[in-house]
Amino acid sequence: MSVFVEVDHVGRTFPMPDGDRYIALKNIELKIKKGEFVTLIGHSGCGKSTLLNIIAGLDKATQGGVLLEGRQVTQPGPERMVVFQNYSLLPWLTVRENIALAVDEVMSDRPKGERRGVVEHHIDMVKLRHAADKRPGELSGGMKQRVAIARALSIRPKLLLLDEPFGALDALTRSGLQDQLMQICEENKTTCVMVTHDVDEALLLSDRVVMLTNGPESYIGQVLNIPFARPRHRLEVVKHPNYYSLRGEAVNFLNQQKRGKQRKVKQTAIARHGLEKVNLEIGFIPLTDCAPLVVAKEKGLFKKYGLDEVTLSREPSWKAIVEGVASRRLDAAQMTAGMPLTMTIGIDGKPPLPTVTALVLSRNGNAITLSKHLYNEGVRTLADFKAAITSSPDKIHTLGMVHPSSMHNLLLRYWLASGGIDPDLDVSLTVIPPPQMVANLKAGNIDGYCVGEPWNSRAVYEDLGFVIATDLDLWDGHVEKVLGVREDWANQNPQTHLALVKALMEACEYCDDHRNREEILELLCQPHYVGSAPEYTRPGFIDPYQRGTDAKPELLLRYNQFHIEKTNCPYRVEGLWILTQLARWGITPFPKNWIEVLDRVRRVDVFGEAARDLGMMDIEPDRGSIRLFDGTVFNPDDPISYLNSLKIKRDLRIQEITIDLEAEARGERLEARG
Amino acid sequence: MQTLNSTSLKTDQLINRDPFLVIEDVSKIYPTPNGPYIVLDGINLTVHEGEFVCLIGHSGCGKSTLLDMVSGFRQPTEGEVRLQTKRITEPGPERMVVFQNYSLLPWMSAFENVYVGLDSVWPDKSKAEKTAIAREHLALVGLTEAANKKPKELSGGMKQRVSIARALALRPQVLILDEPFGALDPITREELQEELLKIWQAHQVTVLMITHDIDEALFLGDRLVMMTNGPAATIGEIMNIPFARPRDRTRIMEDPAYYDLRNYALDFLYRRCGHVDE
C-alpha cells in the first residue's frame, strides 16, 4: 500500500539557555499507511509528543520533514487534527457549540443545514446526545474527551493525532473510550497516530507500536507489528497466543530504557590480568541448560580465569538476547544453536551482524509437549496428531516455539514434516518466550510447544500437557545452546573471549558430573536464575523423566548433556545442517559459500586453543553424515541435493552471502543511531 | 495446582486468627427528592491483620464511599465497621488515608508536611522526638535530600512519597490508599508499588487500597475485592492472589496462574460488570 504519511529522517534540536543544544529527536523515519493506527510509546521526555507536534505542524523539524500525501507539512491544518489530554474545550460553550465552532470554521463554504447535520452526526457518534446542551463544567473527564474527539473528527481530518488522550482518565473509563475510538476509526478508516504510555492500550488499538528510546537523541528503538484481527474486542485480544509475549516485549523495552536511564554512565571496559575486559554482562534465558553460566558464576570459574566482574542478566526472550548482543548491552550471551548464523546472515529484515560461537554449551534437553486436551482425545503419536488435525479442519492447531533460529523451531518443523504435517500450512507456529509457554498452554492459546526444560516438565507437573517426544527421540546429541558474541567483540577482546570459553568449558565439565547435579539444581531454582520449583526441574536433570502419559518415568542420562562426548566443540557439520533447515523453511537463503559462512561463525580455532590450554581434547568430531529418527541421511558433502530431496519445504533460495566490512559498517551505523 | 494450594494454606492460617477489620452488613443510602438512593448494599468483608486488600470496580461503584466508612469520614446507614471489635465512628490516627491528589499543604516543605501531622496527633511528644520520627519516615520513602523542598518543587511521585510518609509516621494500624498511583507515569508507579510493598512488609500494617489497575492489584494484594456497578453496589467476587512473597514482577508474570487471574478480573470488569455509559 502507498505511503500516506512519511516522517522523513526527522531531527529536532532545541537551543539551550547556556548556548548549548539539546537534541531531542534524531533521525526518525516512519512511513504510515492510509487507515493505519500507529502508537508512539516511550518514557516521559522521550520526545514522543514533540514528534506528534511535528506531524501536526505545531512544531518544526530541525532536520528532515513530514509529508502528508506527498505534500510537506509546514503548519497546522484541518486535515491533521490533534486531541490533547486536557480536552481543550471552550468552557462557555455547550457540547454542540464546541463542535459547531470547528465545523463552521472549516466548512464555512457549506450550507448551514449541512454543517448542522455534521455536528449532530458527531454528537451521536460519541453517544453524547443526552448531554448536547451541557457545558464542559457539567461533564465528566471521559465525556469531555469524547467531545474533543467528536470535534476533531467532525471536520473530517485525513489524520487524527492523539496525545495521550485518555491519560487523565481512570483505567475503566479509559477502556470505554478506547472501545469507542477503535470503533470510530474502523468505521471511518481514519489514519491515527497516538502517543500513549499504556502498553495495553497500544496493543489493543494499534496496527504498529513504535517504541522510542529515552532522550536525548531519541530514536525508534523497536517496532512491534500487532497481528490481531479486526474488529477487535478487549477480551478476545488478550487470548491471542501472542498477546502476552507482545506485551512482554513492550514492557521489556520500557524496562530496559528505565535501566538505561538509571545506569546513565556508560559501562567502560576494565582491563586486568592481561585481559582486555574483565567486566562482562552475559545474557541468559531461564532454562535448565543455562546451568554452565550459573555454575561458572557461582563456583568462581569466571574469576579463576581472570573475569572478575561478570554479571549474568536474566533476559525475558531470545529476541531480547539478539537485541542485547547487537546493541552491545550484552558482551556475550547464551544463544540458540542457529542464532549466530541467523544474526550473521540477517533475518526478519535485520541487517547482517557477524556473530561467532566458539563453544557449544549444551546438547539435547528439549521436548515437544502437547496439551492434555489432545491427550484426552487419544493423541499419543505423531500420526494421531496428524489425524486430529485432519479431522478438525475448522480448528487451527497452534504450536509455540521460542525463536526462528532455535533447534526447537527446526526440530519441531522437522518432526511435523516427517509425519506429513506442513508446519506452515497445516498448523500455525508462533514465537513465545520459554517461561511463558506453560501460561499460554493453560490459557488454551496454544495446543503445544517445543521448548527446553523445565517448561515441559512444568506442564506435565501441572497436568496441563504431555510429552509426545523428547529430542533424544529425534536426534540424540544435537547441538542446543551455544555461547555467542559479536565478531567485532571477539576480535577486539581475543584474550577475554578465550578466558570466557575456558571458564565455561570447565563449568560444562562440572555440570556433567552427576554428583554435582543436586547442588546445581539448588542454584538453578534460585529466583534470579531459573526460579523454578525443584519438583518440575528435577525430571530429566536428576530424576527419571516423566512424560505425563502411561509410560513409566525413564532415566535419561544424556537429556541435559554439557560436556561428555565432544559436546563443546562447535563443529561445522551440524552448523551446516542448521543452514539447510533454515533454508528449507525460508528463514534464510542457503549460502552458496556455506563453507566460508561456517568458518566465520563457528570458531573451532578458539575452541581448540581453549581446549588445549585446559588439557582437554581439541579435535572436531568426525565429519560424518547425520541420520535423524526418520532415517533420512544428511550428507554434509552435498547439502543442496539433500535440500532438494526433502518433500515438505518452502521455495529454496540459494545465494552468495557476503559477510563483508560493509555489513559491519552498516551494523555500526545502526549502532551509532542506537 | 501448586500455587493455589499454597494459598489455601495461607488462608487457613488467616482464618484461625481473629478478625481485625470487619465490615458487616454495611449499606449507604442517601435520601433524594426521588426517594432513597442506595450507593452500597450489604457489604461484608473481614480483613485480617497485616493483610493487603485491593478493591477494584468502575467509577461510581462506591469504593471510595466504602473506604470513607473505614477511615471514619462517613457513617454507614446500616451495619457497622469495626476495627479490633471497636466500632468506627470518626476519623482517627490509627486509620490513615493517602489520596491520589497527594493533599499536601503547598506552603510547607516535605518535612513540615509530615511534622504537622505528628504535631496534631502527639502534642505532648518532644519536638526532638517528633523531628526524628518525621526524618525517619522521609528516609523510609527515600526523600531525605528533598526534605526541605515545597510540594511544587517535587515531582508527582515524590509528592506521593511525602503523603505516604506522612500517613505512616503516625504508625497507623490500617493504611487506606485511594488510587494512590493513578496519576503517576507507569515507571514511577512501578517504583512506588515496589517501595510500598517493602514498607508494608517492614511495618506489618494492614492495607486497603483502591485501584483501577489489575496488574497493580495482582502485584500488591493478598486479595482482590471486585465490586459490582452502582447504584446498590456490592462485592461481586473476591479473588485470592496466590503469589508467594516477596514478589518479583517478572516472576509473577511467568506464573501460569497470572494470566488466568488477570483475564478473570478483566472478564469480571468488562463483561460481567460492563461499563455503563454516562
What HEC string does A64-96 produce?
EEEEECCEECCCCECCEEEECCCCCCCCCCCHH
Which of the residue ranges A76-90, A478-492, B186-200 has the most confident prediction, judged by mean pLDDT?
A478-492
- The CATH number given to whatever domain includes residue B253 is 3.40.50.300
- Whether the upstream peptide bond of residue A454 has omega within 30° of 0, thus cis, is yes
Q: Note the pLDDT of residue B1.
A: 34
The helix (H) or strand (E) run that includes residue B65 is helix B63-71
Contact A504, A516 (CB under 8 A): no
For chains A and B, what is the number of CB pairs under 8 angstroms? 84
Q: Is the same domain home to B274 and B239? A: yes
Query: Nearest CB to A531: which of B2, B212, B251?
Result: B251
Q: Rounded to an integer, what distance in angstroms lies between the CA atom of residue A492 and that of residue A615? A: 26
Q: Is the same domain home to B111 and B85? A: no
Among the residue ranges A452-461, A594-603, B92-101, the one predicted with the least confidence is B92-101
CB-CB under 8 Å, B187 with A43:
yes
Cell numbers describing residue A308: 572478575
Q: Could you report the per-residue pLDDT of A371-386, keeping only the tens digit for each?
A: 999 999 999 999 999 9
Q: Which whole-number Å values give the CA distances from B89 to A155, A333, A650, B82, B83, in the listed order?
A: 55, 61, 75, 9, 11
Q: Is the same domain home to B139 and B75? A: no
Average pLDDT, chain A: 90
DSSP A462-506: TTSEEEEEEHHHH-TT-EEEEEEEEHHHHHH-HHHHHHHHHHHHH
Among the residue ranges A135-144, A511-520, A594-603, the one predicted with the least confidence is A135-144
Number of domains within chain B: 2
Q: Which of A127, A134, A170 to mutate to test the interface with B (most CBs of B within 10 A)?
A: A170
B186 found inside a domain: no
Closest CA to B98 of B175, B188, B169, B191: B175
**Strand ranges in A155-190 using DSSP code E only, listed in sequence order:** 159-163
Model confidence at A355, in pLDDT bands (50, 70, 90)? very high
Q: Each residue of A158-167: b (16+ CB within 10 Å) or e?
A: bbbbbbbbbb
Q: Note the pLDDT of residue A1.
A: 53
B223 found inside a domain: yes
pLDDT: which is higher, A564 or A265: A564
Q: Is the same domain home to B219 and B151? A: no
Model confidence at A267, in pLDDT bands (50, 70, 90)? low
Q: Rounded to an integer, what distance in angstroms lies between the CA atom of residue A452 and that of residue A366? A: 4
pLDDT average, residue stretch A512-537: 92
Query: Nearest CB to A244: which of B187, B259, B278?
Result: B259
Which of the residue ranges A165-169, A354-358, A528-532 has the most confident prediction, judged by mean pLDDT?
A354-358
Q: Is the same domain home to B57 and B176? A: yes
pLDDT average, residue stretch A272-284: 92
Domain boundary, last residue among B171, B198, B230:
B171
CB-CB under 8 Å, B1 with A170:
no
Give the Cβ contact number of residue A274 at 10 Å. Answer: 10
Q: Is the same domain home to B82 and B2? A: yes
CB-CB under 8 Å, A533 with B185:
no
Query: Nearest CB to B258: which of A172, A439, A535?
Result: A439
Q: Write out the residue range of the structural domain in which residue B110 sits.
A: 95-171
User: Domains in chain A, please, with CATH?
Assistant: 1-78+158-253 (3.40.50.300), 80-156 (no CATH), 255-363+479-544+554-571+607-619+659-668 (3.40.190.10), 366-474 (3.40.190.10)
**Strand ranges in A271-392 using DSSP code E only, listed in sequence order:** 279-284, 309-314, 332-336, 355-363, 366-371
Instruction: Check if A229 contacts B (Cβ < 8 Å).
Output: no
Q: Note the pLDDT of residue A661.
A: 55
CB-CB under 8 Å, B275 with A170:
no
Q: Which amino acid is at A315?
A: E
Q: Is the same domain home to B13 and B146? A: no
Q: Which of A48, A172, A204, A287 to mutate to test the interface with B (most CBs of B within 10 A)?
A: A172
Query: Nearest CB to A44: which of B185, B255, B258?
Result: B185
pLDDT: which is higher, A578 or B246: A578
On whether ipTM exceeds 0.90, the answer is no
Q: Is the same domain home to B107 and B88? A: no
- Res. A665: pLDDT tops 70: no
Contact B236, B268 (CB under 8 A): yes
To 5 degrees, how large is the angle CA A565–CA A568–CA A574? 85
Q: Is the same domain home to B176 and B272? A: yes
Among the residue ranges A42-51, A229-238, A332-341, the one predicted with the least confidence is A42-51
Instruction: Check if B153 contacts A (Cβ < 8 Å).
Output: no
Contact A168, A218 (CB under 8 A): no
Map grid coordinates 488499538 to a residue. Answer: A205
Query: Nearest CB to A170: which of B2, B185, B212?
Result: B212
pLDDT average, residue stretch A113-131: 91
Closest CA to A371 of A463, A238, A469: A463
Chain centroid, CA A303 distance in Å: 32
pLDDT: which is higher, A496 or A239: A496
Q: What percentage of chain A exceeds 70 in pLDDT?
A: 96
CB-CB under 8 Å, B259 with A443:
yes
Q: Note the pLDDT of residue B9.
A: 41
Q: Is the same domain home to B105 and B153? A: yes
pLDDT average, residue stretch A408-431: 95
- In this prediction, the residues of chain B whose per-residue pLDDT falls under 70 are 1-17, 274-278
Among the residue ranges A244-258, A411-425, A582-596, B236-250, the one predicted with the least confidence is A244-258
